[in-house]
Amino acid sequence: DQQVKQNSPSLSVQEGRISILNCDYTNSMFDYFLWYKKYPAEGPTFLISISSIKDKNEDGRFTVFLNKSAKHLSLHIVPSQPGDSAVYFCAASAHQFYFGTGTSLTVIP
Amino acid sequence: ETGVTQSPTHLIKTRGQQVTLRCSSQSGHNTVSWYQQALGQGPQFIFQYYREEENGRGNFPPRFSGLQFPNYSSELNVNALELDDSALYLCASSYRDPGYEQYFGPGTRLTVT
């Protein structure tokens, strides 16, 4: 049973535009959510996180939004840059971490 | 500050064999978690070690076992390898408290033939 889902395997965006990556979850006990970025041949790199008591967290070009009633999480990247091209995983924590299957983002110069 | 390192990078084993993967955690981190990432999937939690004790386990059979050493480095052992064990194995270290951010190593690519 996949408790964290990323329904879009891939996303292409023009450089300078907004990238929106989405994530849905089923377990209402999750209390912490994270986004990781992964380049080929490297381990995932922590990007940004949000506690379940908040609905928004911002760090530079990256903003994560949490909608608990919809059990939905999104990552906004503005403006998108070619170096942002990578696979993005969302993860949720209830003592242990559950990861989505990832969304491959391509930012077109 | 040294990041998380894993060894070996790649290895090939035969079905039924045993394998040991190693992980050195980031300096100052006392918690190590292991994940299995199959092709096209997200990382799946195997187990976590905190201060040399198992501190949580995912849905993996007992032939997946681990150790954490006093210097917080860790091993993942898999016995009786099966073809489906072929995957990227990721190690992540963190402070158990207060943060949840985990820092991942580059992974070990295991192929079982």
In this complex, which of A46, A91, A100 lies closest to B103 when CB atoms are compared?
Answer: A46
Nearest CA to CA, how far is B52 from chain A (Å)? 17
Q: Give the three-class secondary structure for A102.
A: coil
Alpha carbon dihedral A105, A22, B85, B2, in 10-degree steps, equals: 70
The pLDDT of residue B96 is 72
Nearest CA to CA, how far is A88 from chain B (Å)? 10
Nearest CA to CA, how far is B77 from chain A (Å)? 20
Q: Do B90 and A49 touch (CB under 8 A)?
A: no
For the segment B94-103, what is each residue's pLDDT rounded down to a tens digit? 887 545 688 9
Q: Residue B2, class by beta-carbon neighbours within 10 Å (0-12 exposed, 13-18 middle, 19+ buried)?
A: exposed
Residue B48 confidence class, pLDDT cut points 50, 70, 90: very high
Residue A85 confidence class, pLDDT cut points 50, 70, 90: very high
Chain B residues whose C-beta sits inside 8 Å of any chain A C-beta: 4, 33, 35, 40-45, 48, 56, 58, 90, 92, 100-107
